[in-house]
Amino acid sequence: MFFGGLFIAYLVYRNRFYETFGLASTIALRTSLGAANTLVLIGSSLTMALAVNAAQRGLTKRLIGFILGTMFLGSIFLGVKVIEYSEKYERREVPGANFCFHPQGTPCANVGREEKLPEMVGRWLSGGFGHPPMEEAAEPGSGPEQKPVAGATTEGSHPAEEAPNTLPESSERARSLPGSEIYFSLYFVMTGTHALHMIVGMGIMIWLLVNAYKGMYSPRYYTHIENFGLYWHFVDIVWIYLFPLFYLINLNVLKH
């Protein structure tokens, strides 16, 4: 029922801000990461189904192995979401006072240029999290002929941060595409709630592993495993809906 309410809210605002939702999906989300996570979750459903089968047959070692495999795949999914959320934070696409998404007239100030995933992860591992490439200081003594960085100002122009910005309606948040903050609010609430269900599931799997190691489950009793399998499949099915709603809606917009 909770996810049903969120899906209805999505449909209402998707209809109201049709083009904005499509553009936000196109510009802000990496479809490749969403597709990879979809395959990971489908794989985790398979390993969970095999775990239930192992419990039904009394194969304890195989049961433990498949539960560990499900946890491994779930960890990969959550790790990808951490990458996506971190990128949104750096690009100021988290709803709030600092929100900025494709404002009309000028680009968002201090928003890093588009990076390839390996480059971005490498920057984070070297201590560059929270500091997009365009924020790196220029070398001392560099002249005006230096190659400009994406998003930097050209000669004769004024930096966006120096422009008068005293009125609330002139803020980057106010100039953002209408409905874009709603899109990202729904994105974080719905995918975050889904991730929370997965984190809870990971904790339950630890408990199942302890019980399996103690030899609690057998062909005569495997209710815990079977019930949790239904829970995990539900979590996967929810993502099957979230993936096209947030990552694939741009396909229709681009045709127009």
Is the model's pLDDT at 208 over the cut of 90? yes
What is the structure's pLDDT at 153?
A: 41
Residue 221 backbone dihedrals phi, psi, to 5 degrees? -150, 110
Confidence of residue 104 (pLDDT cuts 50, 70, 90): low
Is the model's pLDDT at 155 over the cut of 80? no
Asked whether the beta carbons of 92 and 98 are under 8 A apart, the reply is: yes
- Measured between alpha carbons, how far is 143 from 146 in angstroms, rounded to an integer? 6
Query: Dihedral of CA 229/231/232/236: which sign?
Result: positive
Of the chain, the percentage scoring pLDDT greater than 70 comes to 77
- pTM of the predicted structure, to 2 decimals: 0.77
- Measured between alpha carbons, how far is 41 from 249 in angstroms, rounded to an integer? 20
Cross-strand pairs, 221? 218
Is the model's pLDDT at 203 over the cut of 50? yes
Helices (H) and strands (E) counted in the chain, each on its own, are: 9, 0
Is the model's pLDDT at 58 over the cut of 70? yes
Question: What's the token pair of residue 105?
Answer: 């007239």
What is the structure's pLDDT at 152?
A: 42
Cα-based torsion angle of the residue sequence 64, 67, 73, 76 in order, rounded to the nearest 10 degrees: -80
- Measured between alpha carbons, how far is 108 from 63 in angstroms, rounded to an integer? 51
Domains of the chain as residue ranges with CATH: 2-92+180-255 (1.20.120.80)
- Measured between alpha carbons, how far is 133 from 115 in angstroms, rounded to an integer? 9
Question: How close are the terminal C-alpha atoms of the chain, in Å?
Answer: 34
